[in-house]
Amino acid sequence: MSDGTIAVKHLSKIFKKGNVHAVKDVSFDVKEGEFFAFLGPNGAGKSTTIQILTTLINATNGEVWVAGHDVRKSPGSVRKHIGVALQETGVDPDLTGRELLELQARIFGFNKLESKKRTEELLDVVQLNEAANRRIGNYSGGMRRRLDLALTLVNNPSILFLDEPTTGLDPSNRIAIWEELRRLNEVKGTTIFLTTQYLEEADALADRISIINDGEIVATGTPKELKSQIGSDLISITFPSEENLHQSKEILQQDMSEADIIETGNSLNIYAQDGTRKMVDVIRMLDQAGLEIETINLSSPTLDDIFLKLTSKEGEVQNG
Ligand SMILES: Nc1ncnc2c1ncn2[C@@H]1O[C@H](COP(=O)(O)OP(=O)(O)OP(=O)(O)O)[C@@H](O)[C@H]1O
Ligand SMILES: [Mg+2]
């Protein structure tokens, strides 16, 4: 039975050559229709994991189920239901985009007429109609990525695996790929497993993120959950005078603990879980007391903060 789920239990991979422990006891589940991101730096084990999940290499240990099938016992069944875009692909640069798509469709068992029809549909989807008869060798990076994406879609997969689909693309090409992935996920309900080194990419696209570092998953959660793990929003207020600052601090202290309100130079820093609401409260309290403020600023922790915290070797919080 085909479904759009992924289940990974205690997955490990040791490359004998070089004795590299690339993936260490990794477990996670992806639900049907979920957009899941594997976020990690160079050498973290992202490509190794994706190659195991897509039946291209064997695990050393652990169990992997994709689309309801065991990747080791039924690799053929898994392949029928997935689309894969790897980080490095070797294709004949003399083929045109149209020829390569037709070829891929034939490999998946479409007859000649169906292959042509499917190719035209996919050229539309990734907006490569105009470049369809040009040699792939002459495509730009962005065009190649769009073609890679079209190739993964030929067999209408229930699960898409994309290994760093936007690395090296300029912002407008990156956003075009993002929009297409969102559409596939939202409109067609395709499950997507994507790897990336870009925090803002995982944040913008994924329902859930696992952060992988040195072969291990160090955190999993929604972007919001991961951000809240590292604490609170920061409200920073400056005042027209020192007197104003001290009076304001006294008033605000009646309503919050000492640890949450810190004087730094000529401003007050206030830490709160729900910064937006707190900011409204603060402005109201100071206004009622007739105290003027000069500027007020709200900032939330970014995924950058948690990424740095979790992937720094000592596991220590970076300054800032
Ligand atoms: N075929 C192989 N033989 C030996 N070691 C390998 C092999 N493939 C990967 N490795 C090693 O396994 C580790 C994980 O590599 P992997 O390619 O999975 O990382 P990655 O997260 O995809 O990194 P990047 O962001 O650079 O693509 C690295 O130390 C790498 O050198
Ligand atoms: Mg990789």
C-alpha 44 – ligand 1 centre gap (Å) = 7
Report pLDDT for 158: 95
pLDDT bucket at 139, cuts 50 / 70 / 90: very high
C-alpha 39 – ligand 1 centre gap (Å) = 14
**E strands of the chain, at which residues?**
6-15, 20-30, 35-39, 61-66, 69-70, 82-85, 159-163, 191-196, 208-213, 216-221, 233-238, 261-264, 267-272, 295-299
**What lines the ligand 1 site, CB under 6 Å?**
15, 17-18, 20, 22, 40, 42-48, 87, 197
Both structure tokens of 125: 């989807």
Nearest CA to ligand 1 atom 12: 22
Nearest CA to ligand 1 atom 13: 22
Same domain, yes or no: 120 and 199: yes
The rounded percent of the chain whose pLDDT value lies above 90 is 63
C-alpha 94 – ligand 1 centre gap (Å) = 29
Taking ligand 2, which is a single-atom ion, which protein residues have CB atoms under 5 Å away? 46-47, 87
pLDDT bucket at 178, cuts 50 / 70 / 90: very high
Same domain, yes or no: 123 and 255: no
Q: How many domains is the chain partitioned into structurally?
A: 2
Measured distance CA(245)–CA(257) in Å, rounded: 17
Same domain, yes or no: 296 and 149: no
Strand partners, 295: 238
Q: Of 206, 224, 242, which closes a domain?
A: 224
Query: Looking at the domain assignment, is residue 144 inside a domain?
Result: yes
State the burial class of residue 66 (Cβ atoms within 10 Å of its Cβ: 0-12, 13-18, 19+): buried
Same domain, yes or no: 104 and 215: yes
Report pLDDT for 231: 63
Instruction: Note down the domain range covering 129.
Output: 6-224
Report pLDDT for 318: 38
83-134 pLDDT tens trace: 998 877 677 889 999 999 999 899 888 999 999 999 999 999 888 999 999 9
Mean pLDDT value across the chain: 89
Query: Looking at the domain assignment, is residue 249 inside a domain?
Result: yes
Residue 1 has pLDDT above 60, yes or no: no
Q: Of 181, 204, 224, which closes a domain?
A: 224
184-234 pLDDT tens trace: 999 999 999 999 988 889 989 999 999 999 999 999 999 888 877 666 788
C-alpha 48 – ligand 1 centre gap (Å) = 6
Same domain, yes or no: 76 and 205: yes
Same domain, yes or no: 178 and 257: no
Same domain, yes or no: 205 and 253: no
Query: Looking at the domain assignment, is residue 192 inside a domain?
Result: yes
Selection from 315, 30, 277 nearest residue 158 by Cα? 30
110-114, 130-134, 237-241, 306-310: the lowest-pLDDT one: 306-310
Atom of ligand 1 nearest to the CA of 87: 27
Alpha helical stretches, state H, 112-170: 112-125, 141-153
Residue 319 has pLDDT above 50, yes or no: no
C-alpha 193 – ligand 2 centre gap (Å) = 14
Atom of ligand 1 nearest to the CA of 13: 12
Supply the CATH number for residue 174's domain: 3.40.50.300
Strand partners, 237: 268, 296
Both structure tokens of 13: 């991979």
Q: How many CA atoms lie within 13 A of 271 on its CB side?
A: 13
Stretch 34-53: mean pLDDT, rounded?
Answer: 95
Report pLDDT for 49: 97
